[in-house]
Amino acid sequence: MSARIIDGKAFAAALRVRVGQAASHFTARIGRKPGLAVVLVGEDPASSVYVRSKGKATVAAGMESIEHRLPADTDQATLTALIDRLNADEAVDGILVQLPLPRHIDERAVLTRIDPDKDVDGFHPVNAGRLATGIDGLVPCTPLGCLMLLRDIHPHLAGLEAVVIGRSNIVGKPMAALLLQESCTVTTVHSRTRDVMAHVRMADIVVAAVGIPGFVRRDWIKPGATVIDVGINRTETGLVGDVDPAVAEVAGAITPVPGGVGPMTIAVLMRNTLVAACRRAGLPAPDAL
Ligand code: NAD
């Protein structure tokens, strides 16, 4: 038996439609569109592509896209001053600083400068703290997208054994916090874990965010488990995930790469921007998001 393939592309498209509808209600009610400001420092080609697709998605969802492209030699003070202006700008609901920043910039200082209520990437320590303590905040897009896919497969997540592979601030840690909030029994394994396989074998849900092509093997997986592959690894044979494709022979459901988690990230960014806009305007965020 082979696994159900989780269609992240279709799920993301549907989410973007719902965000678009909510954005048009917001605009009718408030008299302006929700606004997302994206800041890019330098000309890294991959970052440029990401920024362009975020801008396009923002406009397609009926929101205002505000792009700031700064030269690679921009200094810390100039970038900080821009963040301060965006924090104070009433038309800006979300601020995203595209990473990585050039080496001479203190990334942490920049990310903590963003108003937490406009921090649509959810990387600010205030939002990490809110997530850890169960207060509504803004949650990093990729793990929230994974959770949406998981909820679709498992309407009742409570009590399931979940193993998250990786402990980055962007994916692994917030993913584990979200699954704990759903009352899963959560284990985080990482580069210093003694026996990764022994943990993965027990899991009903496996989320792989490692950055190593084909890291998760077929014989690690409990038959019927749900496997979410966050990995995006560029190899000679193209884009591959952190999960060996043979895992699909034993898993119950699995996200493909590409077309699984990847498309969810920008869709959730749109969702976070809309949620930030609603909260700032004192409107309830639409339930369907
Ligand atoms: P990271 O490099 O910051 O973290 C990798 C984690 O893997 C670390 O916490 C490390 O402890 C763990 N790890 C490394 N080797 C290990 C081993 N042998 N055993 C167990 N754990 C090990 O990476 P990240 O930013 O969390 O990204 C992970 C992957 O997800 C990458 O492939 C990245 O490209 C991808 N990613 C995808 C999206 C998306 O939109 N789909 C978003 C962010 C990241």
Catalytically annotated residue among 98, 117, 204, 242: 98
Given ligand 1 and candidates 168, 234, 264, which is best to mutate, with the most ligand atoms within 8 Å of its CB? Answer: 168
Question: pTM for the full model?
Answer: 0.98
Residues 220-229: tens digit of each pLDDT: 999 999 999 9
Closest listed residue to residue 142, CA positions, set 260, 16, 41: 260
Task: Compute the distance between CA of residue 8 and CA of residue 5 in angstroms, rounded to an integer.
Answer: 9
Is residue 98 annotated as a catalytic residue, yes or no?
A: yes
The closest residue, in CA terms, to atom 35 on ligand 1 is 231
Instruction: Indicate whether 58 pLDDT > 80.
Output: yes
Check if 32-121 and 141-262 are the same fold: yes
Q: If you write DSSP's letter for every residue of 84-139 in order, what string do you get?
A: HHHHH-TT--EEEEPSSPPTTS-HHHHHHHS-GGGBTT--SHHHHHHHHHT-----
The closest residue, in CA terms, to atom 42 on ligand 1 is 142
Residues 5-39: tens digit of each pLDDT: 999 999 999 999 999 999 999 999 999 999 999 99
Residues 251-267: tens digit of each pLDDT: 999 999 999 999 999 99
Is residue 54 annotated as a catalytic residue, yes or no?
A: yes
Q: Which atom of ligand 1 lies closest to the CA of 261?
A: 41
> What class, spelled out in words, does domain 141-262 have in CATH?
alpha beta
Can you read off the two tokens belonging to residue 165?
A: 């592979």
Instruction: Indicate whether 286 pLDDT > 90.
Output: no
Q: What band does 287 get if pLDDT is binned at 50, 70 and 90? A: confident
Task: Compute the distance between CA of residue 22 and CA of residue 117 in angstroms, rounded to an integer.
Answer: 19
Pocket of ligand 1 (CB under 6 A): 142, 165-168, 170-172, 189-191, 193, 196, 209-211, 230-233, 261-262, 265
Fold of the CATH domain 32-121: Rossmann fold (3.40.50)
Instruction: Indicate whether 92 pLDDT > 80.
Output: yes
What pLDDT score does 285 carry?
83
Is residue 118 annotated as a catalytic residue, yes or no?
A: no
Instruction: Indicate whether 277 pLDDT > 90.
Output: yes
The full set of domain ranges for the chain reads 32-121, 141-262
Residues 139-172: tens digit of each pLDDT: 999 999 999 999 999 999 999 999 999 999 999 9
- The answer to whether 267 touches 16, Cβ cutoff 8 Å, is yes
Q: What band does 289 get if pLDDT is binned at 50, 70 and 90? A: confident
